[in-house]
Every structure is written in structure tokens, then in C-alpha cells.
């Protein structure tokens, strides 16, 4: 009797362990689309050196269960992102990184226009019940202090409006560095080592976002 009871208990115990192991091992990863411009797309870099592959590798190394999709288009403004956000929000997308504004700034577009486009993008993610994270860009004062204030402030304001996390400066990882050492010859886009520093700085914020996404 003792032998049979012990065997039954052991069988149940092993079954529970196997069930828990299977659940942990085969849990589906979340899918996050990175909606952006050339900085997201990996302009001028070999495919493994771009932002999305490097961020994917960083997240993998830190235990995230996520598939990061490259939805970056070189040259895109916030208007371009708005025009394609609808078909980027496919049913399999669980979250979205919104990283736009760099080309608006380079072209000196009115921050009110950029803000309105980002507002509409976040409105579409909210309507689709897809959590978003906003990745900003810090403008200088080459268009004047008022322009910089309006441009830089729009990310935090929209983050508060939609209650989404905001990473305020794409280039945070390069601040305080010898910038030219981490940029391509065009002086605008980061090289592979520059992307590595950008990812290392931004990674913890993206990891927090990914880990907070609801599981399917």
C-alpha cells in the first residue's frame, strides 16, 4: 500500500512539474512593431547592425520573450508614419514602439503638425487596444528656442495624454561621447557601434515596456 501511494504521489508531482515546465517553455512571445524612420530601419548598416536586430539581441540576452518587427522606413516623417500605422497594426502585433520625428526636425516642419500626427498615431494604437511606447528625439536650437521647446515637449505631453511610456531622446546613449566616432559619414545616422550604445541606453526602458505587455 505504501509503495502504491508513494508511486501515485510521485506520478502526480512529476506531471505537475512537466506541465509547469511546458507552460514556461512554450509560452508564445509577444510581437512588437517598431514604427519609425531611417534610424529604426537601420539606414547605411549591414542588416545585423541595425537598431531592430541589435535591440532584439539585447532583449533576448535579458530574457525577454519578444519578436521585434522592423517597421522603419527611411525618410518617413510623422505624416508618413501616420499613413501606414493602420496596416502596421496587424492582429498579431501586441505592442508598438513609435519612433518618429527626426525627419520633421531635419526639415524644420512645424512642431504643431508633428504633434498632431503623433497624436493621431497614438489614437489609432489606443483604438486598436495595442499598447505603445513613444521614443522621442531632442531638438537643438538651430530653429530657435521656441521651436526646440515645442518639439521636445510634444513627446512628454502626448505620453501623459495617452498614459504611455516615453523615452525622450533616441540619441541618449551617445550624449557625452565623441559623437563623430559613432556616426556614419553623413554625420546623422549612427554606425554599428553607435547603435550598440543607443540600444544599451534604451534597452531597459524597452524591456520594461515589453514585460508589461499582456500575454495572449
Catalytic residue, chosen from 62, 74, 189, 208, is 189
| Residue of 179, 181, 127, 133 lying closest to 36 (CA atoms) | 133
Phi, psi of 96 (to 5 degrees): -140, 130
Burial letters 83-98, b for 16+ CB under 10 A, else e: eebeebbeeebbbbbb
Q: Is 146 known to be catalytic? A: no
Q: Which of 38, 104, 114, 169 is catalytic?
A: 38
Q: How far apart are the first and last CA of the chain?
A: 44
Give CA–CA dist 195/157, Å, rounded: 27
Instruction: Compute how many other C-beta atoms are within 10 angstroms of the C-beta atom of residue 164.
Output: 18
The reply to whether 38 belongs to the active site is: yes
Torsion over CA: 121, 124, 129, 130 (sign): negative
Q: Residues 69, 93: contact at Cβ < 8 Å?
A: yes
Question: Can you name the residues that pair with 134 across neighbouring β-strands?
Answer: 98, 166
Options 76, 169, 186, 216, the catalytic residue = 186
Residues classed as catalytic: 38, 186, 189
Amino acid at each position: 500500500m505504501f509503495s502504491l501511494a508513494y508511486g501515485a504521489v510521485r506520478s502526480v508531482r512529476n506531471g505537475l512539474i512537466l506541465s509547469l515546465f511546458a507552460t514556461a517553455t512554450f509560452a508564445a512571445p509577444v510581437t512588437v512593431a517598431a514604427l519609425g524612420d531611417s534610424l529604426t530601419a537601420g539606414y547605411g548598416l549591414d542588416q545585423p547592425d541595425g537598431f531592430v536586430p541589435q535591440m532584439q539581441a539585447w532583449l533576448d540576452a535579458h530574457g525577454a520573450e519578444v519578436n521585434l518587427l522592423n517597421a522603419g522606413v527611411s525618410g518617413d516623417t510623422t505624416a508618413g508614419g501616420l499613413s501606414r500605422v493602420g496596416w502596421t497594426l496587424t492582429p498579431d502585433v501586441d505592442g508598438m514602439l513609435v519612433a518618429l520625428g527626426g525627419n520633421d526636425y531635419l526639415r524644420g516642419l512645424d512642431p504643431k503638425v508633428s504633434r498632431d500626427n503623433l497624436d493621431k498615431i497614438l489614437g489609432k494604437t489606443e483604438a486598436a487596444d495595442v499598447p505603445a511606447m513613444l521614443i522621442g528625439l531632442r531638438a537643438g536650437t538651430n530653429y530657435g528656442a521656441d521651436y526646440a521647446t515645442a518639439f521636445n515637449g510634444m513627446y512628454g505631453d502626448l505620453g501623459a495624454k495617452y498614459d504611455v511610456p516615453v523615452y525622450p531622446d533616441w540619441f541618449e546613449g551617445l550624449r557625452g561621447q565623441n559623437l563623430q566616432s559613432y556616426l556614419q559619414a553623413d554625420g546623422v545616422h549612427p554606425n554599428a557601434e553607435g547603435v550598440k550604445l543607443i540600444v544599451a541606453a534604451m534597452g531597459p526602458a524597452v524591456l520594461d515596456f515589453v514585460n508589461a505587455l499582456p500575454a495572449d
